[in-house]
Amino acid sequence: MPNVVTDRFRFANRHGHELDARLELPVGGPAPATALFAHCFTCTKDSHAARRITAALAARGFAVLRFDFTGLGDSDGEFANSGFVANVEDLVSAADHLREQGMAPSLLIGHSLGGAAVIAAAEAIPEVSAVATIGAPYEVHHVLHQLGNAPDTLKDEAEVEVTIGGRPFKIGREFVNQALGQPQAERLHRLDAALLVMHAPSDAIVGIENATDIFIAAKHPKSFVSLNDADHLLLKDGAASYAAHVITAWAEPYVPVMAKSDEPLEEGLVSVETAGGKFAQIVRTAAHEFVADEPLSIGGTDLGPTPYDLLLAGLGACTSMTIRMYADRKKLALDSVKVVLEHGREHAADCSNPGVSRRIDVIDRTIELRGDLSAEQREKLLTIAEKCPVHRTLENRIEVRTIAV
């Protein structure tokens, strides 16, 4: 899997406005597929959801384009004079630009009103084979509910200022007109692509009934995934990351999500290759595959566990398995085991050099044994935990032999 860099550029829409864009592009060879992301109403390409979801897709091998719609973020044009039709045209222009580069999008992803926009744009982008919506309204005019009495005011005024999400926006008559009479039901019925509908049941901005209507109107193949207690903007911890991982997993049957290794790994081998972002890695075993990463606080994209998370997980899993195996063999009433681990470094006296302190790695391991066990049985199980193979490996002297190929 090649590494990924961000290409910053601007492209012109059909009205000559320059739109600001970011393309996550794999280095060292063409990406197997391209995705196009449409941000939510009054959001930008740099929204929390846009960044997290495009980063996850990039980690899976996609080239991913996110951009600011006309009049938003760093794009040219007046938001007051744009609207839903303009958003759809911007998406088609973005797809045209990608096609000129030999990278026509096969996957469209839309958040909130952006979800309605990708449904409308899909039929104008022939290469699209999959469409994913997140918290999308079924009817475009649903967005007018967020404008208060502005639509009525615009009957007498050419332009009115509204506050959305604590920010002021100017809305023109054209914006209202573009939201009315959009044939979304017909578009969904004609949709010649797989559809993923994602929605939070407790979404207070766009109700869950919208997901139901979208799903019913579309033909198969179609899927629905609940976002549980997520908020509309996916700002709650883990919400955007969960949506991103679902999309990447769901898309695989419909688009070539990532380049697969030509040869399967043998049992016991682990392969780690650079993926999207600064630190993200694709980890593969003979039968499994997942992403490792670093947290946002140090420049990662937090798409998976850190290297030290994986180290602690290996020790914890082996500890629990060893205890379980012994308890089963001895027929002990052990219901379950929970192991919590933490890595740190401490100063310790150097025995070979009295008075000299050195830093040593320390793993604190807390073991909770659940079940009807005697004190003697618990003590024996804790002793067995010390015999965990990974524990022994970590306490041995380890030599890492590196071979360059």
End position of a domain, from candidates 251, 270, 287: 251
Position 123 in a domain: yes
From CA 352, how far away is CA 205, in angstroms rounded? 66
Q: What are the helix (H) ranges across 239-340? A: 239-251, 307-329
Q: Which of 20-24, 27-31, 64-68, 120-124 has the lowest mean pLDDT?
A: 27-31
Residues 6+ apart with CB under 8 A from 36: 64, 65, 91, 94, 95, 98, 105, 107, 108, 109, 118
Q: What share of residues in the chain are helix, strand, coil (percent, to 5)?
A: 35, 25, 40
Q: Is the same domain home to 187 and 334? A: no
Residues 237, 332 share a domain: no
The CATH number linked to 332 is 3.30.300.20
Q: Are residues 247 and 316 in the same domain?
A: no
73 and 198 part of one domain: yes
Residue carrying the six token digits 């990708």: 118
pLDDT for the residue 2: 41
What is the extent of the structural domain holding 342? 307-395
Query: Given this model, what pLDDT does residue 32 score?
Result: 74
Cα(117)–Cα(38) distance, integer angstroms: 8
pTM, whole model, 2 decimals? 0.67
The predicted structure's pLDDT at residue 28: 45
220, part of any domain? yes
Instruction: Return the pLDDT at 384.
Output: 96
- State mean pLDDT over 6-26: 89
Q: Which ranges of 30-142 would DSSP assign to H, the alpha helix?
A: 48-59, 84-100, 113-122
Within-domain flag for 373: yes
Tens-digit pLDDT profile for residues 333-386: 999 999 999 999 876 655 555 555 577 889 999 999 999 999 999 999 999 999
Q: For position 61, what pLDDT does the model report?
A: 74
pLDDT tens, position by position, 249-284: 898 889 865 444 456 788 889 988 776 556 778 788
Does the pLDDT value for residue 102 go beyond 50?
Answer: yes
- As a whole number of angstroms, the distance between CA 276 and CA 62 comes to 9
Q: How far apart are CA 362 and CA 342, in angstroms?
A: 8
**Which runs of consecutive H residues, i.e. helices, occur in 141-181?**
150-153, 173-179
Residues 236, 328 within the same domain: no
Instruction: Give 136 or 293, the one with higher predicted confidence.
Output: 136
Give the CA distances from residue 98 to residues 4, 101, 366, in Å, rounded to whole numbers and listed in that order. 17, 5, 52
- Nearest residue to 65 (alpha-carbon basis) of 18, 33, 88: 33
Q: Classify residue 284: in a domain, yes or no.
A: no
